A and B are shown apart, each in its own frame.
Chain A
Amino acid sequence: MFWLFAALAVGGALMCITRRSPVASALWLVQTLFSLAAIFVLLDAQFIAALQVMVYAGAIMVLFLFVIMLLNLGRGSATDMRGWTGRLVALALGLLLVTELWVLVRSPLASPLQLPAGTLSRVAQEQGVVAVISDSLFRTYLVPFEVTSVLLLAAIVGAVVLAKRRL
């Protein structure tokens, strides 16, 4: 099950960076986001999965598609891929990053940090899926939560100022 969605996510990402038309690219990215939501469910993060579908696949990608269609970029014009040197550099850097991250993944987690297997799903069953997150969100991380709301306000004002023709 996990591998099916992992393959869908990686395939969607590959298609996203190789399709010529921005609309096709965005739609393949939506596939990746949905597969990631499924993977989140498999990793005991049901609330995050719901957020992923609503915020990313729902809101952010609709915003992207709006802008693509507003600017009339739908028909694939001449390719915007870089030339062969650029492609080789991108491939080499991507592979280098994969190997570096692979080494990091291989190194084991310090054992005192690890919870016993299944702890998170047990806690989620006792308190409810949302309560697990909201408890630490509104106690430990209350100040970052409020700062996030200020950030969103600043983003709203900034987006309006930037996109308006003249104030």
Chain B
Amino acid sequence: MLLGPALAVSAILFSLGVAGVLLRRNAIIIFMCVELMLNAANLAFVALAQQLGPDGQVIVFFVMAVAAAEAAVGLAIVLAIYRHKQTLDIQNLNLLRG
């Protein structure tokens, strides 16, 4: 059974995604790290679906639909930010700081 190793790989990928979000300042790369975290969660779902029945794979289907919607809206926001500020460095996006 591959359950243990698959969950371990999922944990490592999720942590790498979190580290990437904390490490980078480019908004697009932060988005890609969020996608990486979603994929790690998908891997956990699929690995557990092997033990608990195929419903886990249906959840992965929904996660993919939500990820596609999130990518479309997120990239539109990135475009709007770039048009507004001419940069994607999130250190320059401090309008809420007052």
Contacts and interface: CB of A to CB of B under 8 A. Distances in A.
Nearest to B5: A2
Contact residues on B (Cβ < 8 Å of other chain), bracket:
35 or more
A120 B71 contact: no
Contacts, number: 228
Given A60-B71, A159-B72, A71 B33 contact: no
A45 B46 contact: yes
Contacts of A113: 51-52
B29 A39 contact: no
Contact of B57 (A3, A48, A94): A48
Contacts of A70: 79
Interface of A: 2-3, 6, 9-10, 13-14, 16-17, 22, 25-26, 29, 32-33, 36, 39-40, 42-45, 47-48, 51-52, 55-56, 59-60, 63-64, 67-68, 70-71, 73, 80-82, 86-87, 89-91, 93-95, 97-98, 101-102, 104-105, 109, 113-115, 117, 119-120, 123, 132-133, 136-137, 140-141, 144-145, 148, 151-152, 154-156, 158-163, 165
8 contacts: A9-B13, A17-B17, A25-B29, A32-B36, A40-B46, A51-B61, A148-B66, A163-B79
B6 A43 contact: yes
Contact of A63 (B46, B62, B72): B72
A13 B36 contact: yes
Contacts of B31: 64
Given A9-B13, A22-B28, A141-B58, 10 more contacts: A52-B42, A59-B68, A71-B88, A90-B22, A98-B11, A105-B11, A120-B54, A140-B58, A145-B62, A152-B68
Interface string B11-35: 1111111111011111011011101
Contacts of A133: 54, 57-58, 61
